[in-house]
């Protein structure tokens, strides 16, 4: 990190990979003949829903917590999140015995709030329509002299998420495959940035795409415009994990020169992808974890060579999942 903006680079991602490799699940790259047939190309699904806490977020959170100073370990950390970063931070902090306060929207899925509570974290709920989680987070961190950990705009978070990209590149190499493209779900763009840094070094030929819900396609529009664009709304999609206001500052700086384009899919297409993953991959995906797979199944990713799809989270309410299955 030898630049003014404190941008992470490949060495940081590789360092995170080494730091995390005995702590994280080396999630499999899943294959299914039916998937290849449906998409019309070889598809490799990096099943990060199988990661500890049910999403890739545990990677960045652990990488951040493991690099706290001794003083910071005592005063602890504060994080705000719709749920997956929250669970990742809560679990990483619990393992490191670091105090943690998690700020979550009142309407976050109950399964995510319970997951955070089960880790013993202190939870503060807020109203996502009338309160600013950024303000609450800044205030609570100041009160406690704690470290406020962004869910994406933090070099150590980005580097930690990127460890999944190193794994995927290694696994594709074991399969003897050179990927033509990678697509990942994007909220704030932290995973995208980590993957982009990893693959720039390990698989530079591959084109990187982001996937977002149709009406929350801030990355897609930002890449097209060349500068950060905001979403019109902060609610209104089943993809709760992806409803960030706009791409991050650090993440967009990294992604704008490394991501080929943004793609999007509807909630209904995400539900269809969840059914497909249930039927053919035997993994549980939440809507926001299935948008990249939805884009793949809708054949929106250009090209016909090997495609790596990141399936990023599986923290979904049983009632919603049952409803999605029933709608088949």
Binding site for its own copies (CB under 8 A): 22, 25-28, 30-34, 47, 49-50, 52, 54, 91, 111, 118-119, 175, 275, 278-285, 314, 318-319, 321-323, 325-326, 328
Listing DSSP states for 73-137 in one string gives HHH-EEEE-SSHHHHHHHHHHHHHT--EEEEEETTS-HHHHHHHHHTT-EEEEE-TTTS-HHHHH
Question: CB-side exposure of 120: number of CA atoms within 13 Å?
Answer: 9
CB of 171 to its own copies, least distance (A): 9
Pick between residue 19 and residue 275 the one whose CB is nearest to its own copies. 275
Residue whose C-alpha is closest to residue 61's, from 80, 83, 82, 86: 86
Residue whose C-alpha is closest to residue 20's, from 134, 157, 132: 157
Angle at 27 between CA 26 and CA 28, to 5 degrees: 115
Pick between residue 129 and residue 175 the one whose CB is nearest to its own copies. 175
The partner residues of 208 in beta bridges, in order of sequence, read 182, 259
Pick between residue 114 and residue 134 the one whose CB is nearest to its own copies. 114
CB of 318 to its own copies, least distance (A): 4
CB of 227 to its own copies, least distance (A): 36
Pick between residue 90 and residue 148 the one whose CB is nearest to its own copies. 90
Measured distance CA(187)–CA(245) in Å, rounded: 9
Structure token pair of residue 253:
């700086």
Structure token pair of residue 250:
């650090």
Pick between residue 118 and residue 143 the one whose CB is nearest to its own copies. 118
Q: Are 146 and 140 in contact (CB under 8 A)?
A: yes
CB of 291 to its own copies, least distance (A): 17
CB of 16 to its own copies, least distance (A): 19
CB of 117 to its own copies, least distance (A): 12
Pick between residue 49 and residue 265 the one whose CB is nearest to its own copies. 49
Structure token pair of residue 195:
């993957």
Pick between residue 164 and residue 283 the one whose CB is nearest to its own copies. 283
CB of 95 to its own copies, least distance (A): 9
φ/ψ bin of 29: left (φ > 0), alpha (ψ from -120 to 50), beta (otherwise): beta
């Amino acid at each position: 990190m030898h630049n003014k903006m404190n941008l992470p680079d490949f060495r940081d991602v590789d360092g995170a990979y080494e730091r995390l490799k005995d702590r994280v699940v080396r999630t499999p790259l899943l294959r299914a003949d039916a998937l290849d047939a449906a998409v019309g190309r070889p598809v490799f699904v990096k099943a990060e829903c199988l990661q500890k806490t049910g999403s890739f977020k545990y990677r960045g959170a652990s990488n951040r917590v493991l690099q706290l100073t001794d003083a910071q370990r005592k005063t602890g950390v504060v994080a705000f999140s719709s749920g997956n970063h929250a669970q990742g931070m809560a679990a990483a902090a619990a393992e490191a015995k670091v105090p943690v306060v998690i700020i979550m929207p009142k309407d976050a899925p109950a399964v995510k709030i319970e997951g955070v509570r089960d880790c013993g974290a202190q939870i503060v709920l807020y109203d996502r329509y009338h309160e600013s989680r950024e303000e609450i987070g800044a205030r609570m961190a100041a009160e406690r002299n704690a470290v406020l950990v962004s869910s994406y705009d933090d070099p150590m978070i980005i580097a930690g998420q990127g460890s999944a990209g190193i794994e995927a590149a290694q696994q594709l190499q074991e399969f003897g495959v050179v990927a033509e493209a990678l697509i990942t779900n994007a909220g704030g763009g932290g995973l995208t940035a980590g993957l982009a840094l990893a693959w720039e070094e390990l698989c530079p030929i591959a084109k990187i795409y982001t996937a977002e819900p149709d009406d929350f396609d801030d990355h897609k529009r930002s890449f097209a415009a060349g500068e950060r664009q905001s979403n019109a709304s902060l609610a209104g999609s089943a993809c709760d994990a992806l409803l960030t206001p706009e791409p991050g500052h650090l993440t967009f700086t990294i992604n704008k020169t490394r991501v080929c384009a943004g793609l999007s899919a509807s909630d209904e297409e995400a539900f269809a992808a969840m059914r497909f993953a249930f039927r053919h991959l035997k993994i549980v995906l939440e809507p926001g974890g299935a948008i990249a797979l939805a884009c793949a199944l809708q054949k929106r990713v250009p090209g016909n060579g090997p495609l790596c799809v990141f399936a990023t989270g599986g923290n979904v309410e049983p009632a919603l999942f049952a409803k999605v299955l029933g709608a088949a």
